[in-house]
Structure 1
Amino acid sequence: MSNDFVNEQNKCKRCKTSALSGPKCIKCGVVSHSSCLKLLKNIKFIDEKNVQCCDDDLDSTSDSESNDTVLGNDASSLENYYLKELLKQKDVHILSLEDKILILKKQINLLKQLTPPGEKTNQNKNPAQSKSLVPQNSKTTDTKPNSKTNQTKAKNSNTNIQNPIITKSEMTAAINIALKPDVIDKKDDINKENNTPTNNHKNNKQTNAFIKGTNNSNTLKVVEKNAWIYVTNLHEETTEKQIEDYLATICKTQCEKLTQNFENSKKSSFKICAPYKFKNQILDGNIWPEGTLINRSEVLCIKQKDKVISYFCEDCKFEITQNSQLLTIILELQKEIKGLNSKVSELENKFINVNAQKSVPDDCKFIENVILESQEREKRSKNVLLFNINEEDEDFEKIAKNVITGISNLVNTDNLKIYRIGKKTDGKKRPVKIEFKSAVDAKTILVNKTKVNEPYRNIKINNDLTFLQRKYLENLRSELENKNKSDSNVKYTIKYKNGLPTIVKLD
């Protein structure tokens, strides 16, 4: 069809007004508004430029899609149906190609208008774009049956080979896939509700290009163009002043030291601002030390394997310093936690080892110790100890009997066991132990121990205590001493109550 046919039918299918743009029916050529077509029923959107709105085609199409009439084994009817479907789709692609040709012509005319006189337009400047306007899959398919097809039909009619059963709906789906229209690239041109193409004119605006001035005799001043150059891999002690002085022989520059990504990095990076005309001289690698990296783009510097450049605003720099301080505190806390965990594990291991070494439960051992202590106390309750008897006195047994007889005549001194206890040491008087037949005799002597007669007044008499009793009495005496020192107004002493030594106040 020609371009006149495209503009001839311009009455909208719904509002009956002239439509300058919008999808066009592939059957009748009517151009309608896309918003009006959405409100109509039985409208089939083929692509963003073409629809099918005529009733006869829609009825036939709907009948073919809904009616699952099974084609028989007749190969000729199957081939005829296939050819009819191909012919229906041929007109669709022809209209699509004509619309794209019209768009290309408009673009060429617009390009000619924008091109200044005396300059030739390079139509092959962007071949990829021109190719994209006419995709390869939009070429028409030759649908003429050849002689081989006729021979195949004749063979199939004369043979009894069973063909597979194919429905009309399956055949239509296969044809639609084979002749699939162009894919819409812009997501904004698709309706989200029913995935139908819509017209979007927002991106059709032309951007105005800048015109560069060329008059050198003008009195107006122009800002000099600067180039930004990034240098990295320098020593961490390098300063901005050193860089500026280093480049002073070429031109006057401004240098800024960039923040490093890592606190422990021993490299420093700089951003240098220099006049654009001296760019190539500064980018010359011969003027820089070996190993230095120089680049005009900060992005390319960041892409290096050794990433040391990072540029932040003041707020971000402050946040980074705060984060580094918090990180230091967290690392210290982690070390302390590890130390505590190691100590806890050591204590757990010790506790496990101690429990493993215990062959008898603690309760049983405690009971056994109590029984042994009670038996030992009962045995020692029949004994008394005499102190301050000289070691030179060989007849200490006679002295002991005389002391007992002087205290009480009721105690029988016959068959008494009298002996010294402890290891003999020079200058030390060992105590003498007396074992009575009964605890009553020992208690009688202890009660009346202050009645010792002359010449035995220096001899002291005491009861025979077990190890635990001596330990308890020792602790009690130290407590008594502390009480008397702390409170000078009240005096305390030790008295036996029911056989147990106790601290009491003096009357």
Structure 2
Amino acid sequence: MTKNNPEAANSDQCARCRKFPTEISKCSKCSKCDSYYHNGCLKQLRNIKYLKDGTIICCSDNETSNKDSESASSPNEQPENSASVADKLTIRYLEEIMKQKEIIIKQQDQTIQALKDQIILMKQVASQTTVSPKISASTHKHTIPVMNTNNLHVKNSNQLVDNGNNLMESYQKRQSTNQHQITSKSVAGAVHGAESLQICQDIINLERPTPMTRRSILIGKNENSTNFPFKAARRHISNEKHYHVTNLEPEIDTAKLSDYLKKFAPNIQVQKLNSRQPEVYSSVKITVPSDESDKILNSEVWPSYVI
């Protein structure tokens, strides 16, 4: 290093660094090519050998012959390289800006085209829709009554007063007729009022000072009591079942059918019904007690000519 070699440092005070061409006062010198380097530039070099005497070796033997040419071209090499790198970065930056600009313009064009298509579609839909006459009349109907303008064209103030009196008289006549006019609404209101009044009267009439006595009915004969002047008959409730038999032969005889079925159910009753198509089928109604109904429901009981 130059610290250990003060003579080399003093003689090379105006030397220039090979890596960064500026005048340096403290530097390191190569023993082969006599090149000078900053102490910071030495850290960026790869193939560096440090000698015991403080010098360095930064090149091989075949590079020593090109020392003069390298030293002559080295001062302008670094600025040219830095300028070219800056220009490349600027060009790349501008290219990215142009790409982003084209993407934004393309998106805006798509949005504009979509809005144009939407306007065209709305015009087509509006031209193709048909409105019903009733709907059109209801939508365009005047919600506020139109005032007759004939009464406004008057010649003097007296005529205006006369027209006003006539309007008031006609309005009072309509009001008087509306009061005596019978409508469904007025009838419903009168009925509701009468029903509510009747309900109130019924409730008032039901509030009696003495409770109602419960009536008792005696059915049948009571051997223990002899105070009753009459004897009530016991009510008989018949327990019967009724069946509707259809799709029988058109010319069936109900009397024969009744006589035949009485063998199985003595209390059976057969009644012929009026069918819709008597020439095709006939129907009968059968009345039988509940205890004999199971025999009638058996299909083997019925004769073959009936079905």
TM range (shorter): under 0.3
Q: Larger Cα Rg: Structure 1 or Structure 2?
A: 2
* TM-score, scaled relative to structure 1: 0.15
